[in-house]
């Protein structure tokens, strides 16, 4: 049966489904332009514009001006789209209010350390579940495998090589972002768990809970781990060199994140 506009319920359902896919793609890969969205989803330019206009009207996304990743040279900057807080919230699991109230109660009755213990207990399940798999996976594949596991858990994660060395683990969605903004112990426990699973030092560079667009974790080069097992007489100079390299890597990564923020403004 068609409604007044001549659209069937099935067509309306398909339209909503496609729009949700557009929003999800912007969440996971934004900032992203209309052309890239169309290529990834197999949509015509007109269809992409229709969905983008609807998402903009609903406050789910917002436009920014900048160059897409990898684009160089002169030319008119492309219009990029990013998810808004309202759009991100549409993907967030329920119970934020209840979880926040429970953690506030725990902090008031037992103190901040009790919240930290709770946070560690929450991520211990991830460690127990993935630790056996990580032992079987080659070291250079562990970040990718962890990203896939986090994506399955609703974090829309991705892994990539850091330009200045090491790797980056990015989480484009955080189901507990609103609670983590008040209780950073959740992010700290998660970072500790990543280090345990990957077997190499990691450092959190940005979090959605603190207003960044993506949770970004820098994973140090494997050389840091091998140095721990080196003889003491050869470890000293190597540690200094690696420390300097790691500092440069993290500093460069932070600069890249800040540049990305400036571009998006």
Average pLDDT score over residue span 193-197: 95
**Per CATH, domain 96-264 is 3.90.1520:** yes
Contact criterion met (CB below 8 Å) for 157 and 171: yes
pLDDT band at 66 (very low <50, low <70, confident <90, very high): low
Choose between 43 and 66: higher pLDDT: 43
Report domain extents, the chain: 9-91, 96-264
User: What is the predicted pLDDT for the residue at 34?
Assistant: 93
Give the model's confidence band at 16: pLDDT under 50 very low, under 70 low, under 90 confident, else very high.
Answer: confident
pLDDT, tens digit, 9 for 90 and up, residues 150-176: 988 878 899 999 887 899 999 988 878
More confident position, 135 or 228: 135
User: Is residue 97 scored above 80 in pLDDT?
Assistant: no
What is the C-alpha separation between 79 and 23, in angstroms, rounded? Answer: 16
- SS3 at position 183: coil
Asked if the domains at 9-91 and 96-264 fall in one CATH topology, the answer is no
Distance CA 22, CA 54 (A): 11
If one looks up domain 9-91 in CATH, what number appears? 1.10.10.10
Least confident of 9-13, 51-55, 129-133, 259-263: 259-263
Helix (H, G, I), strand (E, B) or coil at 46: helix
């Amino acid at each position: 049966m068609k409604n007044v506009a001549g659209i069937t319920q099935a067509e309306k359902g398909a339209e909503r489904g496609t729009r949700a896919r557009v929003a999800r793609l912007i969440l996971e890969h934004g900032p992203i332009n209309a052309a890239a969205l169309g290529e990834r989803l197999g949509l015509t330019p007109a269809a992409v514009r229709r969905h983008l206009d609807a998402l903009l009207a609903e406050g789910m996304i917002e436009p920014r001006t900048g160059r897409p990743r990898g684009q160089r040279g002169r030319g008119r900057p492309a219009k990029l789209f990013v998810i808004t807080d309202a759009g991100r919230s549409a993907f967030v699991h329920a119970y934020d209010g209840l979880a926040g109230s429970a953690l506030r109660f725990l902090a008031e009755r037992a103190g901040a350390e009790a919240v930290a213990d709770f946070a560690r207990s929450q991520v211990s399940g991830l460690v127990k579940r993935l630790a056996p798999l990580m032992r079987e996976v080659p070291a250079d594949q562990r970040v990718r495998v962890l990203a896939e596991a986090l994506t399955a858990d609703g974090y829309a994660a991705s892994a990539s090589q850091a330009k200045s060395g090491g790797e980056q683990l990015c989480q484009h969605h955080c189901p507990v972002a609103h609670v983590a903004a008040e209780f950073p112990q959740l992010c700290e426990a998660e970072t500790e768990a990543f280090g345990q699973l990957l077997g190499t030092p990691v450092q959190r560079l940005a979090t959605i809970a603190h207003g960044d667009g993506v949770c970004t974790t820098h994973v140090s080069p494997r050389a840091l781990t091998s140095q721990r097992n080196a003889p003491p007489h050869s470890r000293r100079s190597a540690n200094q060199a690696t420390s300097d390299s790691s500092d440069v890597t993290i500093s460069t990564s932070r600069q890249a994140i800040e540049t990305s923020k400036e571009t998006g403004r």
